[in-house]
Amino acid sequence: MAWAEKRSICLEYIQPGKPQQNAYIERYNRTVRGEWLGQYIFETIEEA
């Protein structure tokens, strides 16, 4: 948060449990998990 404040960036939060308020980012997060992390085989959860 200090990084954003130094650059005069206003952080806005969505309501808990309401991912549809930020659908674009939620879809991006799902894509990252599915496509990027799916390319690797992890032996333990700590490696992921």
**How many domains would you assign to the chain?**
1
Question: Is residue 2 in some structural domain?
Answer: no
Pair 4, 11: CB distance under 8 Å: yes
Question: Is residue 47 in some structural domain?
Answer: yes
What integer pLDDT is reported at residue 37 of this predicted model? 75
What integer pLDDT is reported at residue 33 of this predicted model? 83
Question: Is residue 41 in some structural domain?
Answer: yes
Distance of CA 42 to the CA centre of its chain: 20
What integer pLDDT is reported at residue 40 of this predicted model? 74
pLDDT over 90 at 10, yes or no: yes
Question: Is residue 5 in some structural domain?
Answer: no
**Mean pLDDT of all residues belonging to the chain:** 86
Euclidean distance between CA atoms 9 and 17, whole angstroms = 24
* More reliable by pLDDT, 6 or 47: 6
Question: Is residue 45 in some structural domain?
Answer: yes
* More reliable by pLDDT, 40 or 14: 14
Q: Check the CA dihedral 4-46-29-18 and report its sign.
A: negative
Q: Domain residues for 34?
A: 16-48
